[in-house]
Amino acid sequence: MKLIYEGKVKAVYDAGGGKAVIVFRDDITAGDGAKRETMKGKGAINAEISARLMEVLEEEGIETHFIEYRRPDRMVVRKVEIIPLEVIVRNVAAGSLVRRYPFREGQRLDPPVVEFGYKSDEYHDPMLNDDIALALGLCTREELEHMRATALRINDVLKGFFSERGIILVDFKVEFGRADDGRVILADEISPDTCRFWDAETGDVMDKDRFRRDMGDVMGFYRALRERVLAG
């Protein structure tokens, strides 16, 4: 298959017929790629979690690029033109939000906070507002509002899904793409690499923050998260 895109932890290949294959690698990075390791089995865990969450969203009427999961570390998806925006939804103050604003770590956010980031390694993925996104020609105003509204719908679905499994969905990042007919649909992945998850009972971190903050046992918590996601 022809390589379309290769990122820090995933590669995307053209599968023909309007389809692509995402291969999840075992790499894990932080600090804009400055910190990097390889953890055996991580790619397969992220692929399986992401595939299941895409199925959950599809069942709730949210259109995604997901077609099927192929063991151990691949997803077959519809080819889309990725919009270079990261849409971040925050339910609890953590990470960069606490560093940038006078929020307390763990402070509940009601309503949820929605942020947009410019997906650019060159500019280190800066936050931006609607006017900058439009001035850069990244999307239309209608697409921007659609992404915001869809991200909040995704949040509602996933908060309930994880709450039933004893997990707090702290925040998450999603990306969107344009399908052949111009519709903007959910793309990329939803995994412990792109979300923050805390155990509702113990407060244990179950996501990539364990790697960022040298908390240890990254794979143990990734595996535990997969077990809960696939349960029921």
pLDDT along the chain (232 residues), means of 10: 95 98 98 94 98 98 98 98 98 97 98 97 95 98 98 98 98 98 97 98 98 98 98 82
**Nearest-angstrom CA–CA distance, 133 and 148:** 13
Residues 205, 124 share a domain:
yes
Domain end: 78, 107, 139, which one?
Answer: 78
Encoded tokens for 157: 């679905």
Widest pairwise Cα distance in the chain: 49
**Nearest-angstrom CA–CA distance, 17 and 19:** 5
Q: Which domain holds residue 36?
A: 2-78
DSSP state of 95: T
pLDDT number for residue 66: 98
Say whether 49 sits in a helix, a strand or coil. Answer: helix
Our count of domains for the chain comes to 2
Domain end: 78, 101, 127, which one?
Answer: 78
Angle at CA of residue 62, ends 57 and 64, nearest 5°: 80
Nearest to 67 by CA among 231, 179, 191, 196: 179
pLDDT number for residue 32: 86
pLDDT number for residue 212: 97
Query: Which residue matches tokens 């990470």?
Result: 95
How far are the Cα atoms of 7, 107, 230 from residue 223, in angstroms, in the given order? Answer: 23, 27, 11
Q: Which regions of 61-190 does DSSP assign to beta strands (E)?
A: 66-70, 74-78, 81-82, 85-92, 108-118, 127-128, 167-178, 184-187
Residues 70, 110 share a domain:
no
Residues 141, 61 share a domain:
no
Residues 163, 67 share a domain:
no
| pTM score | 0.97
Q: Which regions of 119-222 does DSSP assign to beta strands (E)?
A: 127-128, 167-178, 184-187, 195-199
R_g of the chain, CA atoms, integer Å = 17
pLDDT number for residue 225: 98
What are the phi and psi torsion angles at 99 (to 5°)? -75, -30
User: Which residues, in sequence order, are CB contacts of 110 under 8 Å at separation 6+?
Assistant: none
pLDDT number for residue 33: 85
Q: Is residue 195 part of a domain?
A: yes
